[in-house]
Chains A and B, each alone.
Chain A
Amino acid sequence: MAHIWRETFSNIKYSGLVGGLSIVVVVLTAMMFGALLMIANYIHGELNVMKESPLVVAFLKDGLADSDRQLIWKEIKGLPQVRSTKYISKEDALRKTREMFASRAEILEGLEDTNPLPSSFEVELEPQFLDSAKEVAEKLKGLPGVEDTQYAEKTSEFVKKIETSLIFIGSILGLASIVIVCFSIMLTTYIRREEIRIMRLVGATGLFIRIPLLLQGVVQGFLGSVIGLAVLYGLLNLLAMQTGPASFLPLRQIALVVTGGAFMGFIAGAMPLRRLLKI
């Protein structure tokens, strides 16, 4: 076992410029991927706030009986796209409006007696049905007792677009990272093909050659991603001094980047060996 680690670190030490560059590539890729995750986390947080705001509002006719209101409420709850429903009475609507215009309270003076604001149901949709806001709004408009509906068309489309874009960009960058890291580590092994040939010719078994080279890939991937995330953390702290506190990646995502780096190193170390060990 001691031989394996000695051989692994000797390989890294003498892998020269290409070995050093491949670690730099892993460092930069880990930084880029970490930054992307941080941006995704931030956008995801913002989207959650958007998702939680009601997307469809059904305004009720004035003077509706409690039983009719109950019927509408049941109809809304029965729709598969609906996550939750909240009843806003005329009084609640006025109170909310007062809160919104707190600085211009005089505008709303005297409205208590002739409150013109309608009662309504605020409807929150399930996340997977965010693009169904229009459809739900039209259904609700057809219900007896519903005066009109409003839905956040732009919000639902925006949320959907952002999520699709994030998945798309993440997939491309993720794939690019895998290819770049794999190729740079493969190159470290490939430039040593003559050494591997000598090892074979003096009687080294496949395993004797393979294990240190695989470990070299794992160590390069691991070290590169740890250094990359550490640099990113440092940069984030520097930035936070200018702009205020910013949150780094959660532990689960740090583990994901580091394990991913080590795993890619393993795969990249294994790929060129199949051919080189055929001698």
Chain B
Amino acid sequence: MIQMYGVSMRYKEDIEVLHDVNMLVESGEFVFLMGSSGAGKTTVLRLLYHELIPSEGHVVVAGHNLSRIKTVQLPYFRRKLGIVFQDFKLLPNKTVAQNIAFPMRVTGIKRSEIRKNVERVLEWTSLTHRRNAFPEDISGGEQQRASIARAMVNNPLLILADEPTGNLDPELSLEIMRLFEQMNQQGTTVLVATHDISLVQRMKKRVIKLDGGKITEG
């Protein structure tokens, strides 16, 4: 599902955030990308959803060689992914249900099908009672569940989550991890970037360690 070959990333001329990263994640795996702040976790994820282009090396995701992908193909590639951000990034002018429906709406799917899928993920993330609330009116845990529901609504092949429990207490963090685990059991590949070692130890999944922009384990 994910292949990175000799990937280096430099910002400006001399600030190297990733150095010769090689990484392989098989389809259906659940993997943690672990490292302290500044280790390069977010850069890896941004390279995987092609918000950044590597200075060197190749990235292949879900069968797309991202070095060769054209701008017009990019939206269709991203529809195969579900992205979860640490700061949720919900659209402030849309309700919870509208936020969750958004990735389906942009694909031009029929309204009835959108409604069915939204109801399914709202129920799955226990947000049915918050469907008409705006992001600013719900708690941090609910916002994160809404962003996971949005990532999941399109049945993506791959979930990329960047510090999804960064702002949450341990109880809620575990609840969020259980949601990722359920997705993984349904066949979705999951890559979670985190610095929370205790959470990683409790989940007992494969871990790729990143330190100073280099892979040190995994």
Contact = CB atoms under 8 A, between A and B. Distances in A.
Contact of B89 (A13, A198, A203, A204): A198
Interface stretch (B12-20, B99-107, B165-173): B99-107
Contacts of A107: none
Interface centre among A3, A195, A201, A202 (most CB of B within 10 A): A202
Nearest to A7: B105
B131 interface: no
A203 B91 contact: no
B106 A199 contact: yes
Interface string B63-79: 00000000110111011
A208 B106 contact: yes
Contacts of B106: 199, 202-205, 208
Contacts of B78: 200-203
A1 to B, nearest CB: 12
B159 interface: no
Contact of B75 (A3, A13, A204): A204
A194 interface: yes
A279 B51 CA distance: 6
Given A200-B78, A208-B106, 9 more contacts: A13-B93, A14-B93, A201-B51, A202-B79, A202-B83, A203-B75, A205-B106, A206-B71, A279-B51
Contacts of B49: 201
A199 B106 CA distance: 9
A11 to B, nearest CB: 8
A273 to B, nearest CB: 14
Contacts of A202: 78-79, 83, 102-103, 106, 150
A53 interface: no
Interface string A179-205: 000000000000000110011111111
A10 interface: yes
A203 B107 contact: yes
A13 B71 CA distance: 31
B105 A194 contact: no
Contacts of B154: 203
Interface string B84-97: 00000101111000
Contacts of B150: 202
A261 B29 CA distance: 55
Interface string A209-231: 00000000000000000000000
Nearest to B154: A203
Contacts of A198: 89, 91
A203 to B, nearest CB: 4
Contacts of A201: 49, 51, 78, 83
Interface string B48-70: 01010000000000000000000
Nearest to A13: B93
Nearest to A204: B106
Interface in B23-39: none
Contact of B91 (A13, A195, A206): A195
Contacts of A199: 102, 106
B204 to A, nearest CB: 30
Interface centre among A3, A10, A203, A204 (most CB of B within 10 A): A203
A203 B74 CA distance: 7
B147 to A, nearest CB: 10
5 contacts: A10-B94, A194-B89, A195-B92, A198-B89, A202-B83
A208 B75 CA distance: 11
A30 B196 CA distance: 57
A37 to B, nearest CB: 37
B136 to A, nearest CB: 12
User: Across chains A and B, which 5 residue pairs bring their CB atoms closest together, nearest first?
Assistant: A14-B93, A203-B79, A204-B106, A202-B103, A203-B78
Interface string A95-114: 00000000000000000000
Nearest to A205: B75
A204 B79 CA distance: 8
Interface centre among B75, B83, B89, B94 (most CB of A within 10 A): B75
B140 to A, nearest CB: 18
Contacts of B75: 200, 203-206
Interface in B101-122: 102-103, 105-107
Contacts of A14: 92-93
Contacts of A203: 75-76, 78-79, 103, 106-107, 154
